[in-house]
Amino acid sequence: MANTQSIDAEKAREFAVRTVRKLREADFISYWAGGCVRDHHLHVRPKDFDVATNAMPEEIQNLFGKKRTLAIGASFGVITLIGSKAQGNIEIATFREDESYTDGRRPDKITFSTPEADARRRDFTINGMFLDPETMETLDYVGGLADLEACRIQAIGDPTERFEEDKLRILRAVRFATTLDFEIEQNTLDAVCRSIDNLNQVSRERILIELEKTLSSQHRLRGIDLLCETALLPYVLPETNADAKAILQLKSVLAQLPLHKFSLTLAAIYHILSPELTAIDVRRTIKSMKTSNEVAESTFWILQHITQLISAATEFWPKVQRTLVHPLAQDALTLAKAFVATDKTDPSGIQFCEEKLALSPEDLNPPELLRGTDLIELGMTPGPAFSKVLKEVRDQQLQGKVNSTEQAFALAKTTYESMEK
């Protein structure tokens, strides 16, 4: 799957049309395939295009040139055609049939075949269609158009066999049902529920990609329901408990949060579904999910400060101030506000924080009156006492008890001398 953030949809489309045309001019059959065809019929402008053809991998490379192609997937009949940053890359795959999947991800052996056979090896009917980009005619051997019309996720052929071939398809069924707001066909759903133990054979990195797409969808509340209904929740979110009351609370909170802040979503999930875990426990757990360090550390920081923000009106102001000037303060406050609104608890702490954040930067976070170099000039020896002296001066400054450099020097000297005794 390409990173589509910098891709221009129109330029990507033109590139995909030219790719098909060039293959046809060389007397090969070629179509758009898979997700871009699905998106076309859903009236979504795709940015990620796949092409299927009867050209062999080496023929594809000879046609487009080895400098413009990557043969990383050639053993599976896939050649990557390199486009510009705005166009994105295109995967060109030779029509094939797959044999057994020993590793639960890749076929042990492939046989180059026909468009129909190629369609029948794919995961879900809505992803198994081809499109002629010149005539805009669709080749549908698997009933994908009917399932799009019915808003239905249905495995191609025997769903148990499809999930045995690639275990990640178990979670992909939930992801597609969530992102498209479709129902999962009953036989497919039953197979998902029967196959969940097989998800343990899938790498955490692959699971994380599907999970993040599910939880970033505008229909993610449905995704939460499906993860609970299929009993997938503890597989994809370790150490969580799907208590019915907690799930209702979680859905209420998530409805108030922005969609594309994964650390905020994870903080909400673990705060509600795993209340017995400390922030350190949660950081360890989500690191085991192979999240980035940034996501893990952001989630950890937010969980550490949620309670403080909710009760900020009665907390020691210098501590709250240090929280409010942190880059993640607004995210943490957004989550704290959602908790308060959902639980209908005292909002005074949230209001206090919002009033403080409305101050000018200079008023919220005034320049420090003293630094370490100032303490050295006073004749103090650098060491552990430095940080304690500076913290005491800063606390008094934030409380309005120390307002000048002279007062700061005097307090620093008194504090340092008391520590030396």
What is the tens place of the pLDDT at every residue in 155-208?
Answer: 999 999 999 999 999 999 999 999 999 999 999 999 999 999 999 999 999 999
What are the 10-residue block averages of pLDDT along the chain, 421 residues in total? 74 96 97 96 94 96 95 89 95 87 68 93 97 96 98 97 94 98 98 94 94 96 97 95 92 96 97 96 96 97 97 95 96 97 96 96 92 86 86 91 92 85 63
DSSP 3-state assignment of 129?
Answer: coil
Residue 421: the pLDDT is 63
For strand 50-53 and strand 30-33, is the pairing parallel, antiparallel, or unpaired?
antiparallel
Specify whether the CB–CB gap between 385 and 416 falls below 8 A: yes
pLDDT digits (tens, 9 = 90+) for 117-147: 999 999 999 999 999 999 999 999 999 999 9
Cα–Cα distance, 385 to 393 (Å, whole number): 12
Nearest to 289 by CA among 201, 198, 209, 217: 209
Specify whether the CB–CB gap between 277 and 285 falls below 8 A: yes
Residue 379: the pLDDT is 83
CA torsion sign, 272 to 275 to 279 to 285? negative
Residue 3: the pLDDT is 57
Angle, vertex CA 223, rays to CA 218 and CA 227, nearest 5: 165
Residue 370 contacts by C-beta under 8 Å, 6 or more apart in sequence? 390, 393, 405, 408, 409, 412
Residue 1: the pLDDT is 47
Residue 136: the pLDDT is 95
Specify whether the CB–CB gap between 46 and 35 falls below 8 A: yes
